[in-house]
Chain A
Amino acid sequence: MKTLLIIAWRNIWRHPGRSGVLIAAIIVGLWAGVVTVGTMNGMLQQRVSYLIDSEVTHLQIHNPEFLTERLAADYIPDHDEITGWLSQDERVRSFSPRVMADGMLQSPVKTSGVRIRGIDVEQESATTTFHENMIEGEYLDAGVRNSVVMGKSLMDEHGLRIGNRIVLTFEDAQGELTSSAFNITGIFRSASTEYDDRNLLVRKSDLYGLIAETPVFHEIAVMLHNEDDATAVVDDLNEAFPEITARTWRQISPELSTLIGLGGYMLYIVTLIIMAALAFGILNTMLMALFERMREIGMLISIGMSRKGVFIMIMMESVLLTLTGTAGGFLLAWLSIGWLGRNGVNFEAFADGIAELGWDHIVYPVISTQEYVAILLVVMFVTLLASLYPAFKAIRINPLEAAKDT
C-alpha cells in the first residue's frame, strides 16, 4: 500500500502544470465554498443569538391560555412562587417578568396595531440586551409617568418625537377596553424594522396598574448560564408548576431552529455544487493521465500487478490530488474566516434591505470543526465518485497494451 501511495503521489506530479491547475481550482472552489458557508452560518447564528439575547431568551413561562388567546386575563398564576423557584435554581442566570398587551396606538396622525411589553428595566437589562438597541432618549425614564419607548420606524411613520404623547388602548383583565396616554422618552432601533413597527416598551407597573388591581405578569423570560440546560429546566418547571407552560427558545420560535438547520443544509448544497463542477476537472485530469499511461498500466498488469492494485492506484491518485487541493483550500479558508471572524464582512451597501429582514449588516463568518469534517467527507465522496470511471477503465486495460508499437 505504501508503494502504491508513493507511485500515486509521484504520478500526480508527472505533469505539474496540469495537476497544479486542478489543485488551484480545488483550492479556490473550496475556499469560496467554505467562506460562503461560514458567512451564511455567521448570519444565521447572529440572527438567532440576537433574538435570544435581545428578547426571546433561553426559555419563557406563560399561562397556557395566553399562548392561544393572548388575553390580559390569562396571566401567570402564583408568579411569586415561580420567580422564587427561579431565584433559587443555580442554572438560572437571570429572569424578567413581563406584562403583555396587544392594543392600538393612537397619534395625531394615525393609529397602528401594536404589542405592548411592560418590563422592569433593571430585570430586563440583566436578562436581555434589548437596551443596547436604544438610539435616543432614556430606556423608560423613571422620572416620567407612563413612559414609553418606541421603534424608530414607527416613530417616523407617525411623525413623532421624544416628548410627544400617544394614547394606548387595550383590554384589561376583565375584558374591558382601557386607554391611557403615554409619554415618549426613548427610541430604539433593533435589527428588524418589522419588529420596530409593532412593539412598544413601557414600565411593568404602569401597565399592570391599568390591567388589574394587583400585579400580574403574562410572560417570564429566563436566561440560563448554559443554553444546553434549557430543556432540563423547562421539564423541571413544567413538573413543578403544572398550571403554567414553560418552553425552550426552540419551542417558542421553531423558525430559529429551522434557520440553524438551514445552515447545515446549505453547507452540503454549496459544497456539492462546487464539487460537482470540480468533479469534471478531476474526471478529465484522470482520464488524460490514463490515456497517456495505457502502455505503462498494460506493463504493470503484464509483470504481475493485480487489477485491484491498478484500481487502488488510480483512486489514490485522485484522492491525493483532491486532498492536496482540499488542504490548500481549507488553509486559505481558515485564514480568511479567522480574519473575517474578527473584522466582519460588511454588507453596508445592502444595510437597509438587510435590516428589513431583521439581519445585521456586519456578518462575522463562523465555521466549526465538524463542518470542516462534513465538507471533507463530501469532497471525498465526490472525488471517489468521479474517479470510479477512470479506475474501472484502467482495470480493463489489456496487458497487450505493453507490447504495442505506438
Chain B
Amino acid sequence: MAIVKTEKLSKIYNPDTVPVHALRDVTISFEEGEFTSVVGPSGSGKTTLLNMIGGLDKPTSGSVEIDGTTITGMSDRELIDFRLKHIGFVFQHYNLIPVFTALENVSFIMLLQKREKSEMENRAKSLLEQVGLSDRMDARPKQLSGGQQQRVAVARALASEPRFILADEPTANLDSTSAMNLLDIMEKMNREQNVTFIFSTHDQRVIDRARRVVYMVDGKIDRDEVQK
C-alpha cells in the first residue's frame, strides 16, 4: 500500500517575475517499508519534492496524499500537527537543539506529542541505544561528532513513530566512516522494523545502499529503478 502519493505535482518559484519550474507534473508513490533515494543534480527538484511530501512547502498545482489524506489544502496549523504525528525529518545540518542533551533532543518531539514522561524517557533511551549512543545520552550537540549528531537526529525522527522519514542529504556533512555507520543504522531499522526512509541525495554511498532509486532531472522524474 502506498504511504505517499503525489499527483501531477508542480512547483513554480517567482511565477510573476522570473519563473523557475522546480517540479513539473510529478506523479509518484512510495510504499511502506521502502528504502528509497531521490537523486539528481543540483536544481533537479529532489529537495523540492521532499519538501512537498513533508508538507514544508506548498505546490503550485497538483496534490500530495499521505496515508489517504490529502495534505495539499491544509492550513499551516493543520500541517504542523500533521507533520508532528506522521512525518519524521532528518536534516543535512542535523539541526539539534544545542541547549539540550541527546536524550532531551530525542524526547522533545514526544513532549510536543504530549506523551507520558516515563514513556518518553524509555523510548528516547531505547532509540539512542539503537543508534549506538547509549553512552552519550547526556552529551550536548557540541560535545558530539557530526556522525553522532546525525544519529541523534535519526533517533529524534523515529521518536514520534512517524509513517515515514524524510532525510535531506543526511550524509552530506559526514566523513566516509560516519556516513557508512549512519547508513548501516538506517538500513537495519528499515529491515528489522520496516521503517520507511526516503532520501534526497547525490551521495553515491547512499544511492548504492538504496533499494529504489528515483532519478530526477529538470523537475521531472527521469528514471525510477529498483536495485538488487
Contact = CB atoms under 8 A, between A and B. Distances in A.
Contacts, number: 66
A400 B80 contact: no
B112 A303 contact: yes
Nearest to A2: B111
Given A14-B99, A403-B92, A405-B92, A304 B81 contact: yes
A399 interface: yes
Contacts of A305: 80, 112
A153 to B, nearest CB: 68
Contact of A3 (B80, B93, B111): B111
Among B54, B97, B99, chain A packs the most CB atoms within 10 A around the CB of B99
Interface residues of A, number: 23
Contacts of B215: none
B216 interface: no
Interface stretch (B18-26, B32-40, B66-74, B83-91): B83-91
A3 B115 CA distance: 13
Contact of B91 (A3, A10, A403): A403
A334 B131 CA distance: 53
Nearest to A10: B99
Interface in B148-199: 156, 160, 168
A322 to B, nearest CB: 19
A304 B112 contact: yes
A399 B56 contact: yes
Contacts of A7: 97, 99-100
B47 interface: yes
Among A3, A10, A400, A403, chain B packs the most CB atoms within 10 A around the CB of A403
A302 B79 CA distance: 9
Contacts of A27: none
A309 B85 CA distance: 17
Contacts of A307: 76-77, 80
A300 B91 CA distance: 12
* Chain A interface, >50% SS class: helix
Contacts of B47: 403
Nearest to B57: A400
B214 to A, nearest CB: 18
Nearest to B109: A303
Given A295-B95, A402-B95, A302 B89 contact: yes
Contacts of B92: 403, 405
B72 to A, nearest CB: 16
Contacts of A399: 56
A306 B112 CA distance: 9
Among A296, A301, A304, chain B packs the most CB atoms within 10 A around the CB of A304
B48 to A, nearest CB: 10
A391 to B, nearest CB: 17
B140 to A, nearest CB: 10
Contacts of B56: 302, 399-400, 402-403
A306 B113 CA distance: 11
A174 to B, nearest CB: 90
B51 to A, nearest CB: 6
Contact of A302 (B76, B83, B85): B83
A314 to B, nearest CB: 14
A306 B77 contact: yes
A226 B212 CA distance: 90
B41 interface: no
B108 interface: yes
Nearest to A293: B98
A400 B22 CA distance: 15
Interface of B: 47, 51, 54, 56-57, 76-77, 80-81, 83-85, 89, 91-93, 95, 97-100, 108-109, 111-113, 156, 160, 168
15 contacts: A3-B111, A7-B97, A296-B97, A302-B54, A302-B56, A303-B83, A303-B84, A303-B112, A304-B84, A306-B81, A307-B77, A307-B80, A402-B89, A403-B92, A405-B92
Which 5 A-B pairs give the minimum distances between C-beta atoms?
A304-B84, A10-B99, A299-B95, A399-B56, A304-B83
Interface of A: 3, 7, 10-11, 13-14, 295-296, 299-307, 309, 399-400, 402-403, 405
Given A301-B80, A399-B56, 15 more contacts: A7-B99, A7-B100, A14-B98, A295-B95, A299-B91, A302-B83, A302-B89, A303-B109, A303-B160, A304-B160, A305-B80, A305-B112, A306-B80, A403-B91, A403-B168
